[in-house]
Amino acid sequence: MKDLQAWKVFLDKSKSACTASIVNSELWHARLGHLPFSKLQQLGILSKYVDTYSIRQCMVCSKARQHRLPFPHSQIHTTHIFELIHIDLWGPYKVQTYNGYKYFLTIVDDYSRTTWTHLLATKSNAMPLIRAFIEMASTQFNRKVQTIRSDNALELGLNKEASAYFMTKGIIHQTSCVATPQQNGVVERKHKHLLETSRALLFHSSLPIKYWGECVLTATHLINRFPSKSLKGLSPFHVFLGKNLLMTTSECLVASAMHLHSKLGETSFSPDQYLVCF
């Protein structure tokens, strides 16, 4: 009987210790920003004897960490320039440029990843630029734009005038689903690259924020000449034009900007030149 009573006491103490370990683990889980229980065990905070699967599911983690499943990679492979172009509109930015722009329109050729950016004052200016781009492709490169992919914004083609124009040109207009930018991922990633490069140029030059538009245009100029992983080390312009362009035109931009500022000196003691470009 004594042995049986001792065994019951041992079981009760073990059960209490296990319950205390679970409660303690949940407390640490909350204190450490709802760190997963597996990470807590790796840090040595939890006892290795505690079964993390037996701890109830944390509802806060479900609300804070739930995410969509990854989208499948695109299986579309174009074979020549202007077969498919991706279009997106960025903005409005809270600070307009020095010449009154709040948006920029990005056009990306799917085959070469060559990028064109246009600064816009209003959204309504987007469609005229798209029409001009289509005519440019036909006149300058003897190529017809076959497919345009964009989001479902009204200014990018979801209106009667634009639909009629695309029909007369025989262009297929593909639009992404609502709140699903992943379906237009090529131009979304290009926006990320453009903005990262633009911010680096702006911060390094210490220019006022009103010159963000010039930074975007300069970033486009540079990225078109950068080697691209998706193009196996070639630059977009190399694939688009069939030849590699050297990075010499940026020096001309700096020289032009310095020469311009040398003519704008207001007093005799003003510097002759200001380095403002990149």
The answer to whether the CB of 166 falls within 8 A of the CB of 144 is no
Residue 157 CB neighbour total at 10 angstroms:
23
User: What tokens were used for 43?
Assistant: 């840090």
Whether omega before 227 lies within 30 degrees of 0, making that bond cis, reads no
Place 254 in a pLDDT band, splitting at 50, 70 and 90.
very low
Look at phi and psi of residue 11 and say left if phi exceeds 0, alpha if psi is from -120 to 50, else beta.
alpha
Confidence of residue 219 (pLDDT cuts 50, 70, 90): very high
Q: Identify the CATH homologous superfamily for domain 84-247.
A: Ribonuclease H-like superfamily/Ribonuclease H (3.30.420.10)
pTM of this structure: 0.69
At residue 66, does pLDDT exceed 50?
yes
Interior angle at CA 81, CA 76 and CA 86, nearest 5: 60
Does residue 79 carry a pLDDT above 90?
yes
Q: Residue 182: what pLDDT?
A: 73
By mean pLDDT, which of 30-44, 63-77, 110-124, 252-266 is the weakest? 252-266
Residue 244's alpha-carbon distances to 16, 199, 214, 247, in angstroms, are 73, 26, 24, 10
pLDDT by residue (tens digit) across 148-198? Answer: 998 877 666 567 888 889 999 999 998 887 777 777 888 889 999 999 999
With a CB cutoff of 8 Å and minimum separation 6, the contacts of 201 are 215, 218, 219, 278
pLDDT of residue 56: 56
Rounded average pLDDT over 2-26 = 47
Please state the domain extents for the chain: 2-65, 84-247, 248-278
Give the model's pLDDT for residue 155.
67
What's the pLDDT at 54? Answer: 45
| pLDDT tens-place string over residues 92-102 | 999 999 999 99
**Statement: residue 269 has pLDDT above 50:** no
Whole-Å CA distances, 170 to 108, 146, 148, 235: 20, 7, 11, 30
Instruction: Indicate the pLDDT class of residue 144, thresholds 50, 70 and 90.
Output: very high
Lowest-confidence region among 123-137, 193-207, 215-229, 262-276: 262-276
